[in-house]
Amino acid sequence: SQQGEEDPQALSIQEGENATMNCSYKTSINNLQWYRQNSGRGLVHLILIRSNEREKHSGRLRVTLDTSKKSSSLLITASRAADTASYFCATNSGYSTLTFGKGTMLLVSP
């Protein structure tokens, strides 16, 4: 069953704009991760934020976590056409497994 739910389901922007995707989850977590999936490929790990962290940066990625609201956001700044992909949040609740949301499809047009 899905724990994370991404919002929006699809997002279309122009190159250079920022893209923001949100994720809500239901139960307490140890960490939350974001993954990217290019069409026809496997998922690739982007960034992890632990439950005691509020914000994390990696290159053009910025992730926030609000455990009181059980939500996270992924911001991609200065987007590029190569960022076109589906983005998934995944929650870890203390075991080895992750529970994935259904993803946000991001289209970045040149």
Partner 1 sequence: DARVTQTPRHKVTEMGQEVTMRCQPILGHNTVFWYRQTMMQGLELLAYFRNRAPLDDSGMPKDRFSAEMPDATLATLKIQPSEPRDSAVYFCASGFATEQFFGPGTRLTVL
| Residues within the interface to partner 1 (CB under 8 A) | 2, 30-31, 33, 40-45, 48, 88, 92, 94-103
- For residue 96, the minimal CB distance to partner 1 (Å) is 5
- Determine phi and psi for 43, rounding to 5 degrees: -80, 150
Residues 5 and 100 sit within 8 Å (Cβ to Cβ): no
CB of 24 to partner 1, least distance (A): 15
Lookup: tokens for 88: 């998934």
Q: Which one, 10 or 78, has the nearer CB to partner 1?
A: 10
Cα 29 to Cα 104: distance, rounded to the nearest angstrom: 21
Closer Cβ to partner 1, 25 or 88, answer by number: 88
